[in-house]
Amino acid sequence: MTVSLRFADGMIQIDAESPDQRPPLPGVETDPRTGIQSAPAYRYAAIRAILAQLDIPVDDAIHVDQTLQLTTAYKLRPYQEDALAAWSDRSQRGVIELPTGSGKTVIAISAIAALGVPTLIVVPTIDLLEQWETELTREFGDMVEIGRLGGGEQRLGEITVSTYDSAYLRIAEIGNKFGLLVCDEVHHLGGQGYQDIGRLCAAPARLGLTATFERPDGAHEEIRELIGAQVYSIDVDSLAGEHLAAYDIRRIEVELTPQERANYEDAQQTFLDYVRSAGIQFTSGSDYLQLVKRSGNDPRAREALLAKQRAREIMMNAEEKAIELSRILDRHREDRVIVFTAHTELVYRLSERFLLPAITSETGTTERRGILSKFRDGTYSRVIAANVLDEGVDVPDANVAVVISGSGSEREFTQRLGRILRPKQDGSKAVLYELVSNETAEERVADRRR
């Protein structure tokens, strides 16, 4: 008896000469609509393993075992080697948890070279997409075709990097083309739709990379099923000092101007009035969601939301911050400075005011690469960027970072940014400024209530 395996629309279709004698295979069911026996593609490795164990001849048209000749120049650090070995020991399946900035990309590239099979790499943002594409082209570009799915391009290669969105849309069609699936920031794979990327892909080898594996919604159970268990983990503290830079944090709180304060209070009051009259408590995040929902058909709710947005913008754009930034830029003329803020509009306003090269989600690929490489080679010593560090993008070394946030400190953001700071050649410590608006409004509201 020969069992034949075909791939169609994200499914492995199984056909046997005498289906009655065929052993039960994991996940395989008969589709009453077509009469075809099939299983979601991620079962492929398990199905092959069982057929091999039973010595049943297989007519396999799925072809994920094409070999590529790949080499890499990377030298792994000891902990990276440990991580890779742990993954290989678990049949090349599983999740590696490492902090941002500790070289997850390097581990993946070494895994790809070691396996030498067509690989699909899935990443959550366009920034990461481009960063991976650059790395992969540098390492393997002269040996194989590097494909890219996402950010306006749809190109398949032996090694292809894709956004989660593009991969979700195309996986049922291309899920048979890869022997290795790499999911960067793999916690995203737990999202309902994104699970399909794991489910409908036939790749036997699977590698997940993340800085934060546990998802609060328990979806990491799904990740365990689709990618494998966590095989290696190391935390920031055990890396600090060794591979990550030490830096000082200086928090600068600025005051709103009287006009800004008046506008802020006005907007904030509009918001609070509505919230109070509608009896919304804000004890949990879902209360805010409720307000957003109401704004769909209640103009007053919408006005309240817009007011809240205005209040935030006033905080974010406080003139005093720009003045503070000008002092910092003046003080650090000899240094390499990266300015970050989550608000695109603020990035452009500051870029126009201080003539700083800007990188945002609006910046085209060529220009973004140009700016980053000029920053790297020293042609530019300052850049301003919006949120590009959200998912751990490699940014050229800097010794001064300025984070401009609204009122609160965006702790997570700041920590990640800290990790890319490097001491200067002369050994002086890197420094990170946090510019935040001094929020006294809440206290005043509290005062009024008394």
Partner 1 sequence: MLRKDLLRVSRRGGRYQPQFIGPANAQLAASILETFRSHVGTPQHELDAAIEQLEREETDFKLVRGLRALCERETTVATVSEIPPDRIRRVVFAAAESADGVASSAERDDVLKQAAKRLGTTSDTVAEGLYADRSKNQILTAFEPRWDADGLCAQYNLSLAQTALFDATEVRIRSDDPKALISALGRLRLLYEIERTEDGRVVVITGPDALFRRTRRYGTAFARLLRTVAQSALTWELVATIDDRGSERTLTLHNGDITVPESEPIAEPTYDSAIEADFAARFTALESDWELQREPEPLETGHRVMIPDFAFDYAHSDFRVYFEVMGFWTPEYIEKKLTQIRDVEDVELIVAVDESLGVGEMLKQTESHIIPYTNTVRVKAVVDVLRSYETQLLAAAAETLPAAIEPSAQVTSLEAVATAYGVSVKAIENRSFPAHVQLGQQLVSPTVLETIGDEVSDGMTYADVESIAGKYEITETSALLSTIGYRVKWDGLSGGTVKSLPE
Q: Counting contacts by CB under 8 A, is residue 352 touching partner 1?
A: yes
Instruction: Give the HSE-up count for residue 134: Cα atoms under 13 Å, Cβ half-sphere.
Output: 16
Q: Which of residues 288-327 bind partner 1 (CB under 8 A)?
A: 295-297, 299, 302-303, 326-327
Nearer to partner 1, 266 or 439 (CB): 266
CA distances from 395 to 251, 305, 310 (A): 22, 35, 31
- State which of residues 55, 330, 443, 447 lies at the interface with partner 1 (CB under 8 A): 330
The CB-of-304 to partner 1 minimum distance in angstroms stands at 13
In angstroms, the CA 36 to CA 32 distance is: 8
- Which DSSP letter does residue 356 get? -
What type of residue sits at position 380? Y
> Of 381, 409, 415, 440, which one interacts with partner 1 (CB under 8 A)?
381
Q: Is 59 in the site for partner 1 (CB under 8 A)?
A: no
Question: What is the amino acid identity at position 179?
Answer: G
Q: What tokens were used for 350?
A: 């500051």
State the nearest-atom distance from the C-beta of 65 to partner 1, in Å: 24
Identified binder of partner 1 from the candidate list 172, 207, 211, 398, rule CB under 8 A: 172
Residue whose CB is less far from partner 1, 290 or 415: 290
Shortest approach of partner 1 to residue 72 CB, angstroms? Answer: 34
Burial 309-347 (b: 16+ CB within 10 A, else e): ebbbbbbbbbebbbebbeebbeebeebbbbbbbbbeebb
User: Which of 12-47 are b and which e, b meaning 16 or more Cβ less than 10 Å from the residue's Cβ?
Assistant: bbbebeeeeebeebeebeeeeeeeebbbbbbbbbeb
φ/ψ of residue 341, rounded to 5: -155, 145
Residue 77 phi, psi dihedral angles, 5° rounding: -75, 160
Residue 74 found at the interface with partner 1 (CB under 8 A): no
Angle CA(291)–CA(193)–CA(111) in degrees, nearest 5? Answer: 125
Task: Assess 118 for contact with partner 1 (CB under 8 A).
Answer: no
Report the residue from 180, 202, 329, 431 that binds partner 1 according to the rule CB under 8 A. 329
CB of 241 to partner 1, least distance (A): 31
How many residues touch partner 1 (CB under 8 A)? 46
CB 40 within 8 A of CB 199: yes
Residue 202 lies near partner 1 (rule: CB under 8 A): no
| Residue 33 touching partner 1 (CB under 8 A) | yes
Residue 34 lies near partner 1 (rule: CB under 8 A): yes
Distance CA(402)–CA(195), nearest Å, equals 37
Q: Does 31 bind partner 1 (CB under 8 A)?
A: yes
Site string for partner 1, 426-445 (x = CB under 8 A): --------------------
The distance of Cα 165 from the centroid of its chain, to the nearest Å, equals 12
- Applying CB under 8 A, among 2, 9, 429, 444 the residue interacting with partner 1 is 9
For position 218 contacting partner 1 by CB under 8 A, the verdict is: no
Q: In the complex with partner 1, which residue's Cβ is closer, 17 or 362?
A: 362
Question: From its phi and psi, is residue 27 left (phi > 0), alpha (psi between -120 and 50) or beta?
Answer: left
CB of 231 to partner 1, least distance (A): 27
59: exposed, middle or buried (Cβ count in 10 Å: 0-12, 13-18, 19+): exposed
Question: Cα dist. 225→59, 93, 183, 222, 348 in Å?
Answer: 26, 10, 14, 5, 44
**Which one of 109, 356, 430, 436 is in contact with partner 1 (CB under 8 A)?**
356
Shortest CB 342 distance to partner 1, Å: 18
Cβ contact 178:117 at 8 Å: yes
> For partner 1, which stretch binds (CB under 8 A), given 9-17, 125-133, 220-228, 433-441?
9-17
CA separation for the pair 260, 318 (Å, rounded): 7
8 belongs to the binding site for partner 1 (CB under 8 A):
yes
- Residue whose CB is less far from partner 1, 112 or 189: 189
Q: Is 208 in the site for partner 1 (CB under 8 A)?
A: no
Name beta bridge partners: 147: 160
Q: Tell me the window of 32-40, 95-103, 152-160, 392-400 that interacts with partner 1 (CB under 8 A).
A: 32-40
Taking contact as CB under 8 A, which single stretch among the options 5-13, 231-239, 399-407, 440-448 is the one that binds partner 1?
Answer: 5-13
CB of 117 to partner 1, least distance (A): 25
From edge to edge, which strands make up the β-sheet containing 11-16? 29-30, 37-40, 11-16, 3-8, 58-60
Q: Annotate each residue in 124-163 with x if it binds partner 1 (CB under 8 A) or - if it does not, as one string.
A: ----------------------------------------
Which is nearer to partner 1, 253 or 335 (by Cβ)?
A: 335
Q: Applying CB under 8 A, which residues contact partner 1?
A: 8-11, 27, 29, 31-35, 38-40, 172, 192-193, 196, 199-200, 295-297, 299, 302-303, 326-327, 329-330, 333, 348, 351-357, 362, 367, 370, 379-382
